[in-house]
Structure 1
């Protein structure tokens, strides 16, 4: 299990929970399939496919997984059915329906169609590192991460966390890296960046497969553009896109890390899952403090 995106939360020192306690709490919110007339259902499932525990433990780190099952009801289908029923009602009543009557009819149609709608499932993984005091969520946006943290807080009664914070604005620091062509010693720029213009809302420049150290790119900085996302290579072990909001996107562990995983002989899928989790979380336990130090 290798995470692809990261939303990282700092965990308060006072918070303590062990795997047995966490398992017991998650069981009360275990996933149940979406009901016939429900649009969505969320609950906790085993991180290990085919496994039973809702908490997968590797040393001081505990992985969990939140599953969401939604009914897919295309708006066009609802609209077409509503129009048909509105026409039928108006013909039967001999008058046009009012706004409230149409709204109630739309609700009736939605309830009628939901049991026949297809379902779509999505899983969101996360792990708690009690030693380093991190909660790491595999999510592309903070809003997506908050779905998991809000559900976890509701079950635990408390979850003293805050999104990763730094002393300096990451966007400004990354812009200075490019402007001065001076990066941290263990960091190299990739070939992708997104610039924004602070003077014009919504204005942006996207660069792909570009030499970010070139005069052309540095000219964007001189023109007043600021970095919002920057592709980087850390220590030859991790490739990622750093966002100015401190989320991490397109996380990829290099062949150097993957070879470490391949060298571990696993006799089962469970052993491979455990080995991958241990290696990934071990790499992130070194990477995340460095990330924080770049902007502090």
Structure 2
């Protein structure tokens, strides 16, 4: 159980639910397979493979999992079928169909084809740190994170959270690391960065497998480019790509993280899952506050 991406939220109120209470709330929104004429179904499933509980709990740390199943019905399939049906009806009735008739026909075709469509499933995991007030979703995009938090809010009735925000804008700080070659002591630069031009919306420059202290990178910075994403290794323990929106992508826990657990021999997959979850959450409980400190402390909304 190792997260690969982090979208981090601050819980603005203490998380008051026990694991048992949370599981009961989630059960009302448990996953049901997508119906024959449904486009999409979302719901909670046990995070532990083969498990039964909708909440995996360890030492005040909760793990939950959202499953989504959708039917794949490409727009071009509907469009081609619609064109055929419209042509057939117009020829049979010797008239042109109006917009309302075409829209009604399109709805009929969609309902007809949906049961035949393939389905696709995906899972999202979220870690709730009840001790330190974090909610972290394992996804690279805030849009997908919101899909999970919206259902969690519906399950609980309320969820007073906000995306992690800091007093200082990460972009000029990360840019300064490269410009002055003076990154924090526990930060080691990787070989990847994305720069954007604040004067030209959408313009960006991507560098991979490059020396981020090279003259070429310095030229981009002197031209006014700002770092949007930066590959780093933190404290020789975790590597990731840090985004200016404070999300972390392509997270990797390095070998040193596992060294303290070398003598542990799990008797089951469940024990391995539990051990991995414990190690991961301990590491992230160290990382997130350090990340906040680097960018000038946390901005929090009133509870």
What are the superposed Cα offsets for residues 233-267 of structure 1, whole Å, 9 maximum, x if unpaired? 10110000000111110111111113445542111
What are the superposed Cα offsets for residues 35-56 of structure 1, whole Å, 9 maximum, x if unpaired? 1111000000000111100000
* Kept in 1: contact 2:14–2:133 (CA 8 A): no
SS state at 1:69 partner: strand
**2:239 equivalent in structure 1:** 239
SS state at 2:126 partner: strand
The 5-angstrom pairing of residues 115-130 of structure 1 reads 115-130=115-130
**1:95 equivalent in structure 2:** 95
SS state at 1:49 partner: coil
**2:213 equivalent in structure 1:** 213
SS state at 1:217 partner: helix
The 5-angstrom pairing of residues 157-236 of structure 1 reads 157-236=157-236
SS state at 2:241 partner: strand
- Unpaired runs of at least 5, structure 1: none
CA distance in 2, matches of 1:267, 1:222: 57
* Kept in 1: contact 2:15–2:133 (CA 8 A): no
* Kept in 2: contact 1:15–1:159 (CA 8 A): no
CA distance in 1, matches of 2:260, 2:210: 30
* Kept in 2: contact 1:241–1:248 (CA 8 A): yes
Q: What is the TM-score normalised by the length of structure 1? A: 0.98
* Kept in 1: contact 2:14–2:130 (CA 8 A): no
Range 53-62 or range 211-220, more displaced: 211-220
- Unpaired runs of at least 5, structure 2: 297-303
What are the superposed Cα offsets for residues 85-104 of structure 1, whole Å, 9 maximum, x if unpaired? 11111112111111221111
**1:252 equivalent in structure 2:** 252
**1:38 equivalent in structure 2:** 38
Range 240-249 or range 262-271, more displaced: 262-271
Range 12-21 or range 199-208, more displaced: 12-21
SS state at 1:211 partner: coil
CA distance in 2, matches of 1:127, 1:260: 22
- Alignment RMSD (CA, Å): 1.0
**2:299 equivalent in structure 1:** none
* Kept in 2: contact 1:78–1:109 (CA 8 A): yes
CA distance in 2, matches of 1:23, 1:34: 22
* Kept in 2: contact 1:261–1:276 (CA 8 A): no
**2:144 equivalent in structure 1:** 144
CA distance in 2, matches of 1:113, 1:262: 53
Range 262-271 or range 170-179, more displaced: 262-271
**1:56 equivalent in structure 2:** 56
How many residues get paired? 296
Name segments (4+ residues, structure 1) moved above 3 Å: 258-263
1:13 shift after superposition: 3.5
Change over 3 Å in CA distance of 1:109–1:180 after alignment to 2? same
* Kept in 2: contact 1:198–1:225 (CA 8 A): yes
CA distance in 2, matches of 1:272, 1:91: 66
CA distance in 2, matches of 1:93, 1:13: 64
